[in-house]
A and B are shown apart, each in its own frame.
Chain A
Amino acid sequence: MDFADTTEEARFRQEARSFLEQHAPALASRAGTEESESDFLSRAKAWQKLKQENGWACLNWPKAFGGRGATPMEMIIWNQEEARYNVPTQPFAIGLGMCGPVVMGFAGDEQRAAYLPKMASGEEIWCQLFSEPAGGSDVANLRTRAVQDGDEWVINGQKIWTSGAQYCDYGILLTRTDPSVPKHQGLTMFIVNMKAPGVEIRPIKQASGKSGFNEVYFTDVRIKDNHRLGAVGDGWKVSIVTLMNERLAVGSASGPDAKEMLALAQTLEVDDRPALENKAVRDRIATWHCEQSGLHFTKLRVQSAMSRGETPGPENSITKIVSANKLQGIGSYGMDLMDMGGILVDQDGQDDSFYGAWLSAPGLRIAGGTDEILRNIIAERVLGLPGDVRVDKSIPFTEVPQGGKG
């Protein structure tokens, strides 16, 4: 048992480090500087392009589509090294992590050649359009209709929770093509041009006051049949590829952790003594430290399996549940320690503050699979328990009861 790289891993890490040392600082974000969204995007696109030209973009993709054909372990090493610099990678996360694999797996040769290299180089940004007001955890309950008209499809409906829709060029869109069959069977996936006539994007103001997501409305939007991903009626199968990637990609919630709580407790007081001397405070810090440590070493066990070329076990499925709930607890308790003064917030509302953690955590417990859906996944896929009884499984979508909410 050791934490050291193999010889090949060490060589790869060194290569990654030299590239990053040379190029990353110039394009890294600077703390405390204001930047418009378009300036941020140009900087992000410049970084992605530079990476792609030098073989450091989409490492696990084939070279033909702009990737490097790297091993999963090399991908992990690159991500670790890149994370040491505050470079802008977030706008491409969904496209490269979720849309790319679907286009690669289900589009025709012409579309793959047309879209994947520009996705890899950051020239075009992609989003994912699955969730709807009536289809959250139950994504397959979606209502956006696609109706065939010659060699085109006509789209009408509404999507929600689309990250980055306002600056995206393309998206993968899950639609209902046949409402007369049970809900999972009547779905079809398409590539949609986000700049096409009839696409309207409205930002959602979140509970935190920020706007990271959008509603996207489709009114008579036309899509060529050659932009279909997979067979008509196979949309659910196609979407599973994306959803599995999403649940892996969402990963750990970032923000203040046991270490920051310990530091805070050193500066505050309880009963006229340093808060860190208080047994109740120490109890909480110990619990959070054990969760954080457990997640960290779980990640190392998964990476270790990948390093040996094995398929990792299901251990990683616990990451988001544990980290998002921990973040909510730490944020709340940090403010408790500040007593009546805990209600005060910085004007810039930094996400890494205890207030920021507390306010963003409810969203993290929902995005990319709610706590409840993830527990179902652990129970069913890891522990092998039976699936839920589904009352809508074998009846036509049109006969599925729909509540008034949503």
Chain B
Amino acid sequence: MNFEFSEEQDLLREQARSFLRDRCDSKAVRTILEGAAPFDEALWKGIVELGWTATTIPEAYGGIGLGHLELCVIAEELGRVLAPTPFSSSVYLATEALLAFGSEAQKQAYLPKLAAGEIIGTVAVAEGTKAPTQRNLATLASGGALSGTKLPVPDGDVADFAIVLAKDSDSASSFYLVDLNGAGVSRSAVSTLDPTRSHADIVFEDAPADLLGTPGAGFEQMEKLFDRAAVLFAWEQVGGAEAALYMARDYAMGRFAFGRPIASFQAIKHKLADMYIAHTLARSNCYYGAWALSTDAPELSVAAATARVSATEAFHECSKENIQTHGGMGFTWEFDCHLYYRRSKLLSLNLGALPRWKDRLVTQLEHSNS
């Protein structure tokens, strides 16, 4: 029995944590929150130099060929500091999609540049407030070109290419690779609940598109891709949840009311204990997700949905109760509490909302029981 990260992986964690402590403090995150820049370019450059964008890309495509456990370690640390970079779009989504569904030529064309951080990729599925389903999709693919609108697309304003889910016919949809700097694409940044991460509205008008994966397998591929990404998002969420939990703890220890630290009141102690419980359950489920992702286990769908639901709930609980523990100061712009609150909601919606993942989890449980 060895249900733990290896010594090498723990070393990577230490390295990541100290790098991000130096390069991604609250001031760096607030520069993106309040400024015009879509992401922290200096931090992104440092991340690329450390090889994190190349983590799971095989050496044959210019990567360093480590496993997904290493990527989970990095994800947790990025989540802990609310890193304002396009890492999740480019690595958890675009890179994973190319690795899973790309043709040899597509892999050769994209993966080395993704590994080297020369290009940024993203995945575009959402079209406004209706969940993307075969019935709802309005982006159409025809004769190797796409037309329609995707909104919101994470990092869509800065990405060089997108993997777009588009409808081929009433009964079939597929994934397409689209050059976002090419013809027929116009895009603009949009306002979202978390200004530390950028999103865009992208309009395609006969934009040249290259099929990715199996024709007609768009939704199947999206589910497979989202299962993998869900584990990595969950690790970011667990990192954020832990940061919010300990931020609340530290504040409660130093804040005095009625002549004693508020951390000595049971109302606060029990609240923090509940945050710890939610966080610990989520972390343990993330271990399971990490194991399933790194071994391509048949249980991946169950493990991913479990980690996703559990980490989404834990981050929400910890970020909202962190504000509550801070009292009035927690509701000021100046304190960082709202940054965690915003990021927790962003991550919970980015891959599809909680009710959808709970439903998917039970569907997977039905399959695994039958």
Binding site for B on A (CB under 8 A): 1-6, 9, 73, 258-259, 262-263, 276, 279, 282-283, 285-287, 289-291, 293-298, 300-301, 303-305, 307-308, 315, 318, 321-322, 372, 374-376, 378-380, 382-389
* Contact flag A389-B264 (CB < 8 Å), given A283-B355, A300-B1, A379-B269: yes
Assess the A380–B269 pair: CB atoms within 8 A.
Answer: yes
Which 6 residue pairs of A and B lie closest in terms of their CB atoms, listed nearest first? A294-B281, A379-B269, A286-B358, A297-B284, A375-B273, A378-B273
Number of A-B contacts (CB under 8 A): 161
B8 interface contact, C-beta 8 A: no
Give me 6 A-to-B residue pairs in the complex whose CB atoms sit less than 8 angstroms apart, sorted by A's number. Answer: A1-B6, A2-B1, A3-B3, A3-B291, A300-B3, A385-B263
Assess the A286–B362 pair: CB atoms within 8 A.
Answer: yes
Q: Residue on A with the closest CB to B294?
A: A1
C-alpha gap A308/B249 in the complex (Å): 30
C-alpha gap A376/B267 in the complex (Å): 10
Contact among B3, B276, B282, B290 with A304 in the assembled complex (CB-CB below 8 Å): B3
* Contact flag A378-B277 (CB < 8 Å), given A279-B359, A286-B362: yes
Assess the B280–A385 pair: CB atoms within 8 A.
Answer: no
The SS class assigned to the B binding surface is helix
Assess the A5–B366 pair: CB atoms within 8 A.
Answer: no
B310 interface contact, C-beta 8 A: yes
C-alpha gap A306/B198 in the complex (Å): 44
Residues of B within 8 A of A378 (CB): 273, 276-277
Contact among B3, B252, B282 with A385 in the assembled complex (CB-CB below 8 Å): B252
Interface string of B282-303 (1 = CB under 8 A from A): 1011011011001000000000
Taking the closest CB of chain A, its distance from the CB of B147, in whole angstroms, is 34
Assess the B355–A279 pair: CB atoms within 8 A.
Answer: yes
Q: Which of B238-297 contact A (CB under 8 A)?
A: 249, 252-253, 260-261, 263-264, 266, 268-270, 272-274, 276-277, 280-282, 284-285, 287-288, 290-291, 294
Assess the B281–A298 pair: CB atoms within 8 A.
Answer: yes
Assess the A282–B362 pair: CB atoms within 8 A.
Answer: yes
Taking the closest CB of chain B, its distance from the CB of A313, in whole angstroms, is 10
Residues of A within 8 A of B287 (CB): 1, 297, 300-301
Q: Residue on A with the closest CB to B363?
A: A282
B153 interface contact, C-beta 8 A: no
Residues of B within 8 A of A2 (CB): 1-3, 291
Contact among A289, A301, A321, A389 with B277 in the assembled complex (CB-CB below 8 Å): A321
Residues of B within 8 A of A374 (CB): 273
Interface string of B120-136 (1 = CB under 8 A from A): 00000000000000000
C-alpha gap A385/B264 in the complex (Å): 7
Q: Which of B323-370 contact A (CB under 8 A)?
A: 355, 357-359, 361-362, 365-366, 369
Contact among A276, A286, A307, A386 with B1 in the assembled complex (CB-CB below 8 Å): A307
Residues of B within 8 A of A258 (CB): 365
Assess the B1–A5 pair: CB atoms within 8 A.
Answer: yes
C-alpha gap A111/B273 in the complex (Å): 41
Assess the B264–A388 pair: CB atoms within 8 A.
Answer: yes
B219 interface contact, C-beta 8 A: no
Taking the closest CB of chain A, its distance from the CB of B352, in whole angstroms, is 14
Residues of B within 8 A of A383 (CB): 249, 272-273, 276
Assess the B285–A1 pair: CB atoms within 8 A.
Answer: no
C-alpha gap A380/B249 in the complex (Å): 11
Taking the closest CB of chain B, its distance from the CB of A264, in whole angstroms, is 13
Residues of B within 8 A of A321 (CB): 277
Residues of B within 8 A of A385 (CB): 249, 252-253, 263-264, 268-269, 272
Residues of A within 8 A of B285 (CB): 290, 293-294, 297
Residues of B within 8 A of A296 (CB): 284
B309 interface contact, C-beta 8 A: yes
Assess the B369–A259 pair: CB atoms within 8 A.
Answer: yes
C-alpha gap A304/B270 in the complex (Å): 28
Which one of B270, B284, B365 has the greatest number of beta carbons of chain A within 10 Å? B284
Assess the B355–A318 pair: CB atoms within 8 A.
Answer: no
C-alpha gap A304/B274 in the complex (Å): 24
Which one of A4, A294, A376 has the greatest number of beta carbons of chain B within 10 Å? A294
C-alpha gap A229/B306 in the complex (Å): 48
Q: Residue on B with the closest CB to A310?
A: B4
Assess the B272–A303 pair: CB atoms within 8 A.
Answer: no
Q: Residue on B with the closest CB to A285?
A: B362
Contact among B266, B270, B280, B369 with A262 in the assembled complex (CB-CB below 8 Å): B369
C-alpha gap A259/B366 in the complex (Å): 9
B96 interface contact, C-beta 8 A: no
Assess the A303–B358 pair: CB atoms within 8 A.
Answer: no
Residues of A within 8 A of B5 (CB): 1
Assess the B274–A307 pair: CB atoms within 8 A.
Answer: no
Assess the B276–A301 pair: CB atoms within 8 A.
Answer: no
* Contact flag A305-B4 (CB < 8 Å), given A375-B269, A379-B272: yes
C-alpha gap A3/B369 in the complex (Å): 21
Which one of A282, A295, A384 has the greatest number of beta carbons of chain B within 10 Å? A282
